[in-house]
A and B are shown apart, each in its own frame.
Chain A
């Protein structure tokens, strides 16, 4: 059993839901990323989604785009992101790390080479936003050969046939985008999420995480009641953006701890 499956299995037996924070590698500075990852874990995170900076993050809102731009000012590339995860693994062999990003940096590196390096670095899953299932069968096979899970997005507008198609390829967990739009939007409709998750569960056997639009403990708790995992991105990036350097780690840790508490309070 790989780290992602292991994590969900332990959580399940403890009747807990996963908390998955997202940060962009290299934001606000490359030297802080590994430390930030450790503090996310210490504050109660179960899986870390680590963003690979890209110059044209088409599916992201302004907050995550700015974090990408800050990282790119330091010229953080995919090689650097892999090194950061290797560094993180020196102290943490338990917490799954999922890389999240766009196709072009992976293609520039060569995806076979990338998959081998990602395995070596201790990465567990990869979510490539602009690789929909019909364009990436070879990619999924390649990641599989290196023990990496391919994480896919599903959205409120995904059709039944599409959900079935994704269900066949997806490994690790499904990332359900809870609203129409881009990351960082602020209107999440819990009722429609609940209905949608029921439909997804009929077809999908792996855990389902919900993200986009989760900005406070109350929403995080409510989502935890419905989903297997709560993904929080833009809200954490905002905290990084607005914190003075000397308060950055503690502010982010406090935010994540509050989310953790809210999620655990919803335990069924």
Chain B
């Protein structure tokens, strides 16, 4: 059997990934790669990381059997990996803890981050407060307007939030701006990227920190069910929660893996963020991957009801898993995600994030095609409290 061992030394997953940045960033990335290569196999570092995940994040997160909802759907049993129960309410914090610990060991006193909806910004501001680091979060001015509560949360946690007014004023522009900050102040600054994108080593490093999700799941499944799930389902924006669940299962061909992208108003419209379904390979934000782009190679604005999935690229490892057919990628529309959001609230008393609702919506479609004794493990990547205003607005309700 082939053992999956990507990326290669230069950060390639097949033709994807790599280091596509200006010369000005190369030395910063070299330093990060060398340091991470060292700490990746350093027992003291890994123990500290595990300890923080246990006592600060509250891991392991449970696997919960959504019994009433499964019965209602009438097919496979749906299990939820409860990343929504983590401190700060999503999987994002697994990664920010890991990177902040690395930053500290590298002697960097200042961390910066990009954020779209604000979840990664909050997770970064949280760990910066925890470790006593200065924190600057870049956020598109359009997103600042849409996500006022998260902006305030970051400020309460002591972070400075910088509004980015260039380009489409959203996540991708915030990422550009954070890169610029990093180039300018690289001596004292660590750039905490929030997803499995960006130049090597970020896609690998963020994956490694998120892999705790799948590693725990494997143990928990064996303990509780005596077997592994038949299918894994996770939403994919940049793809960090999905790769965190998938990665430990890649060599286990008996487990199907399905990534769910945001089909927005429909894959046939131009209002979606389904990069793997509708994009073409190209180069953006330091790596080669699928991108939503026009015929001139300009990056196009994407659309999703869920800000966390609203990104025109996708992690290069997902691009590779798609090409080699190890994982499947499908789309779920805004309306389908919203229906799943309400269903989980009503059947299980769990309010999911709109991002995670995409994974749930596909599970709801897929479960009835399977037998009752089959198991679907859905990554419930975050809780939905942050989305209440959006959901109310979609339902025509003023709060």
Q: Is A69's CB under 8 angstroms from B166's CB?
A: yes
Give complex CA distance A130, B19 in Å.
8
Which of A57, A103, A104, A177 is packed against the most chain B CB atoms within 10 Å? Answer: A104
* Interface stretch of the complex, out of B71-79, B227-235, B288-296, B363-371: B288-296
Q: Is B180's CB under 8 angstroms from A69's CB?
A: no
Which B residues are in CB contact (< 8 Å) with A72? 298
A177 CB, min distance to chain B CBs, angstroms: 6
- Given the known A-B contacts A59-B22, A162-B26, are A104 and B166 also in contact in the complex, defined by CB atoms under 8 Å? no
Contact with B along A92-108 (1 / 0, CB 8 A): 00000000001111111
- Given the known A-B contacts A69-B166, A159-B27, A180-B183, are A56 and B299 also in contact in the complex, defined by CB atoms under 8 Å? yes
- Given the known A-B contacts A72-B298, A153-B24, A158-B27, are A56 and B184 also in contact in the complex, defined by CB atoms under 8 Å? no
Which A residues are in CB contact (< 8 Å) with B167? 55-56, 65, 69
B152 CB, min distance to chain A CBs, angstroms: 27
Contact with A along B168-208 (1 / 0, CB 8 A): 00001100100110011010000000000000000000000
Assess whether B286 is interfacial by the CB under 8 Å rule: yes
User: How many A-B residue pairs lie within 8 Å, measured between CB atoms?
Assistant: 126
Assess whether A217 is interfacial by the CB under 8 Å rule: no
Assess whether B153 is interfacial by the CB under 8 Å rule: no
- The one of B24, B293, B295, B300 in contact with A59, judged by C-beta atoms closer than 8 angstroms, is B24
Q: Nearest CB to that of A108 among chain B residues?
A: B297
- The one of B22, B23, B25, B298 in contact with A54, judged by C-beta atoms closer than 8 angstroms, is B298
Contact with B along A155-190 (1 / 0, CB 8 A): 101110010001000000000010011100100000
Assess whether B10 is interfacial by the CB under 8 Å rule: yes
Give complex CA distance A185, B183 in Å.
12
Say what secondary structure dominates the interface of chain B.
mixed
Give complex CA distance A66, B167 in Å.
8
Assess whether B21 is interfacial by the CB under 8 Å rule: yes
Q: Is B24's CB under 8 angstroms from A157's CB?
A: yes
Which A residues are in CB contact (< 8 Å) with B331? none
B202 CB, min distance to chain A CBs, angstroms: 14
- The one of B24, B25, B27, B297 in contact with A109, judged by C-beta atoms closer than 8 angstroms, is B297
Which B residues are in CB contact (< 8 Å) with A75? 296
Q: Is A104's CB under 8 angstroms from B28's CB?
A: no
Assess whether A43 is interfacial by the CB under 8 Å rule: no
Q: Is B22's CB under 8 angstroms from A180's CB?
A: no
- The one of A53, A65, A109, A152 in contact with B23, judged by C-beta atoms closer than 8 angstroms, is A152
B136 CB, min distance to chain A CBs, angstroms: 16
- The one of B10, B27, B30, B282 in contact with A104, judged by C-beta atoms closer than 8 angstroms, is B282
Q: Nearest CB to that of B281 among chain A residues?
A: A107
Assess whether B65 is interfacial by the CB under 8 Å rule: no
- The one of A53, A134, A180 in contact with B186, judged by C-beta atoms closer than 8 angstroms, is A180
Total interface residues on A, CB under 8 Å, equals: 45
- The one of A56, A131, A135, A177 in contact with B172, judged by C-beta atoms closer than 8 angstroms, is A56
Which B residues are in CB contact (< 8 Å) with A155? 23-24, 26-27
Q: From residue 57 to 111 of chain A, which have CB atoms closer than 8 A to chain B?
A: 57-59, 61-62, 65-66, 69, 72, 75, 77-79, 102-109
Give complex CA distance A103, B287 in Å.
11
A193 CB, min distance to chain B CBs, angstroms: 15
Q: Is A78's CB under 8 angstroms from B21's CB?
A: no
Total interface residues on B, CB under 8 Å, equals: 38
Q: Nearest CB to that of A136 among chain B residues?
A: B20
Which of B24, B176, B183, B281 is packed against the most chain A CB atoms within 10 Å? Answer: B24
Give complex CA distance A53, B298 in Å.
9
B180 CB, min distance to chain A CBs, angstroms: 5
Q: Is B23's CB under 8 angstroms from A177's CB?
A: yes
Q: Is A58's CB under 8 angstroms from B179's CB?
A: yes
- Given the known A-B contacts A56-B167, A132-B26, are A103 and B20 also in contact in the complex, defined by CB atoms under 8 Å? yes
Assess whether A257 is interfacial by the CB under 8 Å rule: no
Assess whether A142 is interfacial by the CB under 8 Å rule: no
Which B residues are in CB contact (< 8 Å) with A157? 24, 26-28, 186
- Given the known A-B contacts A55-B167, A56-B284, A107-B282, are A181 and B295 also in contact in the complex, defined by CB atoms under 8 Å? no
Assess whether A129 is interfacial by the CB under 8 Å rule: yes
A221 CB, min distance to chain B CBs, angstroms: 25
Assess whether B262 is interfacial by the CB under 8 Å rule: no
Q: Nearest CB to that of B180 among chain A residues?
A: A182
Q: Given known contacts A56-B176, A135-B18, what 12 new A-B pairs fall within 8 Å (CB)?
A: A58-B180, A58-B286, A59-B180, A62-B166, A69-B166, A105-B298, A107-B297, A132-B19, A155-B23, A159-B27, A177-B23, A180-B186
Q: 7 closest Cβ contacts across the A-B interface?
A: A108-B297, A77-B296, A157-B27, A59-B22, A105-B297, A103-B283, A153-B23
